[in-house]
Amino acid sequence: MIAVAMHRGASLPRALEAVGESVGHDFGALFTGTARLLNGGYPWQDAWSRALSDGAYGATMMLVHDALEDSWVHGASPTERLEATITQVDEDERSRIEQGASQLSIRLLVPTGLCFLPAFLFIGVIPAIASFAS
């Protein structure tokens, strides 16, 4: 959302404020608070200190902080950093999902095997041995 707002011409503090207002709750309040401090002339690190130290959302705020810092401090375009951050978060999430799926398949294999093995023995192996023996 921040990337879209900035792509449409919003300043960095205005983009943070717009996202904060649309998200709402505690998470959005961190964005709007940071935007107000930036608009008030606070240095970059001071404006982000409360958001970064938040227990619930600090890690997410760190991602946004790192993606936008060069834009604020050096005047660089935020587009590439934001897109790279979005891509990295997507890849991390996809990797986490794939690892969870592989662990789930292993957990499902054991009970399935324990159900099919006795059935295979009683339906396939024991009758075959009995027919060979007679």
Q: Would the pTM of this model clear 0.75, i.e. be above it?
A: no
For residue 128, what are its two tokens?
């075959």
Q: Is residue 55, in this structure, part of any structural domain at all? A: yes
| CB hemisphere CA count around 68 (13 angstroms) | 23
pLDDT category of residue 76 using cuts at 50, 70 and 90 = confident
As a whole number of angstroms, the distance between CA 108 and CA 110 comes to 6
Q: Is residue 109, in this structure, part of any structural domain at all? A: no
Q: Judge whether residue 45 has pLDDT over 90.
A: yes
Q: Quote the percentage of the chain above a pLDDT of 70.
A: 100
Nearest to 28 by CA among 36, 18, 37, 38: 18
For helices 78-120 and 58-74, angle between their N-to-C axes, nearest 10 degrees = 150
Domains contained in the chain, number: 1
Q: Which domain holds residue 11?
A: 1-77
Q: Is residue 115, in this structure, part of any structural domain at all? A: no
